[in-house]
Structures are given as C-alpha cells and as structure tokens.
Amino acid sequence: MASKLEAFTHWVNEVAALTRPAKIHWCDGSDAEYQTLVQQMLADGTLIELNQQTHPGCYLHRSHPSDVARVEHLTFVCHPDEQDAGPNNHWMDPAAAHAKIDALFDGCMEGRTMYVIPYCMGPIDSPLARCGVEITDSPYVVANMKIMTRMGAAAQARIEREGKFIKGLHSTGELDPERRFIMHFPAELSIKSYGSGYGGNALLGKKCHALRIASHQARSEGWLAEHMLIVGIENPQGETHYVAAAFPSACGKTNLAMLIPPEGYRQDGWKVWTVGDDICWMRPGADGRLYAINPEAGFFGVAPGTSDSTNPNALKSIARDTIFTNVAVTTDNQPWWEGLPGTPVTDWQGRPYDAANGAAAHPNSRFTVSAKQCPTWSEMAEAAQGVPISAIVFGGRRPSLLPLVMEARDWNHGVLMGAAMGSETTAAATGAVGVLRRDSMAMKPFCGYHYGDYFAHWLSLDQPGAKLPKIFHVNWFRKGKDGKFLWPGFGDNLRVLEWMINRVEDRVDGTETPIGILPADGELKLDGLKLDPAQLDELLDVDNAGWQNELAAIGEYLQSFTPRLPERLHQEQQRVAKALDDADAQPRREATAH
C-alpha cells in the first residue's frame, strides 16, 4: 500500500517542483469543498451568481473569447512510433512533446493554488471503471470535475488500492492561443494540457481520458471506449433494451439520451431511461453480450438548441445546481440562449446584447450538471457490471441519400457503416460549419491511435460465442426538395428505436436492400403522426446511382488508412459496391428480357 501511495505522491511532488505553486490542495470531493470553491470564484469573478430564486445553486462562467471550443489542430497523440497515431491524429514525438509543454509548465503556477483531483470514470466499485488524477490550477476545472466524475476520497482510496491511474496535468497558463497544447501519451497513460480553460481541453477526465487514452487502453484490454450515449427503452411489458448510439457533436445525442415518448407511446406505457449522453465503455460479459457503463457522472451539454420543445428533460435537469459557460443573461439574471423564451440583456462575453455582434449565447455554450438531476436518469447508470447492449446505432447530419434507418446485415457490415459515417460539421469544433466530413464512429477527434487499427479492433470482437448487438444507421436530418426536414425527429425517433428492438427480437422481417435492411411496409408505427406517405417513401428511398458514388467515396476514404486498413473492411466495402452494381444491372437485364 505504501509504495502505491508513494508513486502517487512522488508524481505530485514532481509536478509541484516544475510548476511551483503557492500552495497545494488535495481535493476530497466533498460538498463543503465545492461550496468553498464557488465562494472563492464568485469573489474573484471567475463565476457570476445567477438568479437564485429561479435557478438555485446556478452560476455563470465566461471563457476568454479565444477559448470556447476544442482545438483539434493543437491536440496531439504522442505515440513513440508516428505510424501508431495514424492519419486521423496530429502526432508529435513524445520526448519533443514533453520538452515543449514542460517548458510552458515551468513556473506556471507561481502565485496560484495547485489542485490535486483524484477521480474515477465510472461507478466507483465497477470493474469496468478506471481512475485518474488531474492536477490543475483552475478552481473552475475542479468544480466541473466534481460534477462530471466520481471525484475525491473514494477515488483516491481506489487509486491507492490498485496503484494504477491516468496522470493528467493541466494549467490554464496565460490563455494565449499561441501557447496552447493538449498532449496525450497513450503508452505512458498520461495527458498534459496547457493554455485552455475550455471543457474538452481542460476537464481531462472527459475526452482526453475517457476517449483518447481509454480507446488505447481498451484496445490492449479487449473492450471499447466510444463516443456514444446509452439509453434504455422500456416497453409496456416492462422489458428494457439498452441502446448505444454514436453521433458527432450537436447532432442530437443529448436529445436522444433524454427522449420523451410521443403521447400515444406514453399512454401505452413506454418509458425511456437515460444512462449516459456522451461516452460509453463496453466490455464483453461472460454471456458473450456487450455490457456498457457511462464513465461520466454528469452532463457537459450544448445549451443552444436545448428548449422546452426539443429537450424538456435537459431543461428540468439544469434548473438548479448547474454551472453555465458562455450563455447570455436576461434582465432578471437568468441564463439564456437561442431557443429559450425571453430576451437577453447581456451576451456571452458580458457585453450589452446587440444582434450585430452575432448570437447572444456562444453557439458552443455549455451546461455542467449532475446526471442524477435528469428526470429520466436510470439507477442502472450506477450498476457495477453495466447494462447489456441490444443495439448499436450510428448516425449523422445528412440532408440527402442516407435513409431514415437501415440495419447492417452482420457485424462486418455494421463496422463498415460506422467507419463510413459522415456528417455536416457543427460549432462544437473550430472551423467551417456545414461541410461534410467523414467521422468514423463519431471518434475522429477522439480515437487515441491509428483508425486502421481501431477498425481492426472493432472487427476482432466478432468471435465464436460472442452475442453482439445488431448495428443500425439512422439519419434524422434528411430533407425534401423544399429544403425542410422530412422526419419530425425528437420524441418521434422512438418509432425508429421500436423498429430496431422489433428487429432484435425477430418480430419484423424488414426489407433487404444492397445497403442494408430497411423497414418493410407497415413496420414503422406511425399512428398519430402527420406524415405524408410520399415523405415516408422519400425517407426510405435507396438511390442506387447516388449510393454507387457514395461507396466509391467511402472506398477512397478507407484507402487513406492503408497499409493498416483491415482487408475484411475493404472486402465489405467491395461487397456492398458489387451488390449495388448488381441491383443496377437487374432492371437492365429485365428490360432486355422483355
């Protein structure tokens, strides 16, 4: 025990010697500690108190205007061999990366407090959970980590017991964009982040640990660390199926995780349970099924687009004890963003609101809140063994071509569907908005190693005795010729999830097409939905010529991961392309026969 604790304290002392803080605070994760930090941040202006009558325990934080999103071009994955990082990551030699960032850390905490945050990703007693320690000079980070992880004394006890943890070192530095780096060292199980206070760059338990480092860990240990929500669908008979779903940021993940069934479904007794909204760790169980935990304890959600019409459960969750970041404020000091009623008086930078300055709330403004405050939170989120996954869903924003839903014919085909995922870019990452980019499994910014090896790892789960979930692809965002969405989305997405569960239970047959299995006539329950039959036809239409072009583009994209692209995935792409060609030739053959 002593040696395990010594390794921990030795590292903390090393960091202190490098950063030279005025004092060191070991976080215990208590509510009293949180309140002390809040009072300290209110006093120095890091936090602003919001209306305590309407939003008790809620505070606003304003980021530096240059520090409002993930910075993918400054995020590095530092494997000893550059090939292991892959074309999907920015790479730097580990020794060079340490030297570069340690020069920035040198003396950076002078006059500041250094906080030591022991934390656990996942239920504290779960064998699937993993621990980490983040050292930071930001009380804002400490407060957010208290909400987002199981942080403090219990996590420290587990670390001292196991002697294993991810080392994370963070400093806000000077918030200078020219002196900002997020470095990951998968072989060392460590992270160094300097110069940013933004969530994804500074809350090291989140994307840095739970995805980039964990994906590398998962590959070596035979599990999956994925950018997925976990939702439970309970039918009127009281049976619950758990679904894991991957979407790029701002494509409706949180809305799906907290879905409210349409009225007819509610009356029939359908319920939806929220296990997680962003990250999913899955491991094969003794019975061959995949079991999943949500490693996080809170939601770090995008505020704009969250409203009473889109996600009332999220709104209810954030009515108290929430940290808001970069939202606007109303006259009576309530948090505000586009989509909410009322009028902003101050924008996200604290300026008097002026439409000429753009949106009142930053498009990537956030809320941090405990998951337990969600009305649909499931107690199974604390289950040590996780929940069994019945279906895996991939999706993205595609205005055309991709049907509302399609099922993969087998695991290989499902991995291809995930690998081929494309979506229009959103405000969650810096850069242009509305550009189509491939984002395999929604992991492009988060996979801690070469995508070719990652696809091979996915394929490797298909082993004798495995009872793997069915894989589906959805597209809630298909548009008609008038440019309007064809599918209502939101709560009505449960209709599509019900079809998936019926497929899992072999209750419906579906229709075989070259691109996958689609709902057959009458299989999607549409009662109470004003949907023109022509709209449904368009939603489920398979445009052969368009798909031939898509498969060619997918093939080109996959080739960018050679020589590490698994041959099985290339063969699967070729199989679908041939099926499309054969289907295209069929009508010609029939016409010739007549």
Q: Residue 253, annotated ligand binder?
A: yes
Q: Residue 207, annotated ligand binder?
A: yes
Q: Residue 492, annotated ligand binder?
A: yes
Q: Residue 249, annotated ligand binder?
A: yes
Residue 135: phi and psi, rounded to 5, are: -105, 130
Residue 414: phi and psi, rounded to 5, are: -65, -40
* Residue 1 DSSP code: -
Neighbour tally for 502: CB within 10 Å: 18
Tell me the HSE value of 102 on the side-chain side, using a 13 A CA sphere: 11
Q: Residue 250, annotated ligand binder?
A: yes
Q: Residue 354, annotated ligand binder?
A: no
Q: Residue 254, annotated ligand binder?
A: yes
Neighbour tally for 125: CB within 10 Å: 12
Q: Residue 252, annotated ligand binder?
A: yes
Closest CA to 8 of 123, 144, 113, 162: 162
Closest CA to 91 of 105, 109, 101, 77: 77
Q: Residue 364, annotated ligand binder?
A: yes
Q: Residue 9, annotated ligand binder?
A: no
Residue 131 burial class via C-beta count within 10 angstroms: exposed 0-12, middle 13-18, buried 19 and up: buried
- Does the active-site annotation cover 251? yes
Helices (H) and strands (E) in the chain, counts: 17, 29
Alpha carbon distance 28, 117 (integer Å): 8
8 A C-beta contact, residue 69 and residue 198: yes
User: Is the preceding peptide bond at 563 cis, omega within 30 degrees of 0?
Assistant: yes
Q: Residue 365, annotated ligand binder?
A: yes
Q: Residue 108, annotated ligand binder?
A: no
Token couple for 391:
């279906």
Residue 422: phi and psi, rounded to 5, are: -130, 150
Q: Residue 194, annotated ligand binder?
A: no
Q: Residue 198, annotated ligand binder?
A: yes
The residue annotated as part of the active site, out of 251, 280, 374, 447, is 251
What amino acid is encoded at 505 in this protein?
E
Q: Residue 70, annotated ligand binder?
A: yes
Region of residue 329 (left: phi > 0; alpha: psi -120 to 50; beta: else): beta
Element (H, E) at 335: strand 335-336
Q: Which residues are catalytic?
A: 251
Binding residues for substrate are: 70, 198-200, 249, 364-366
Binding residues are: 70, 198-200, 207, 227, 249-255, 278, 364-366, 397, 490-493
Binding residues for GTP are: 250-255, 366, 397, 490-493
Binding residues for Mn(2+) are: 207, 227, 278
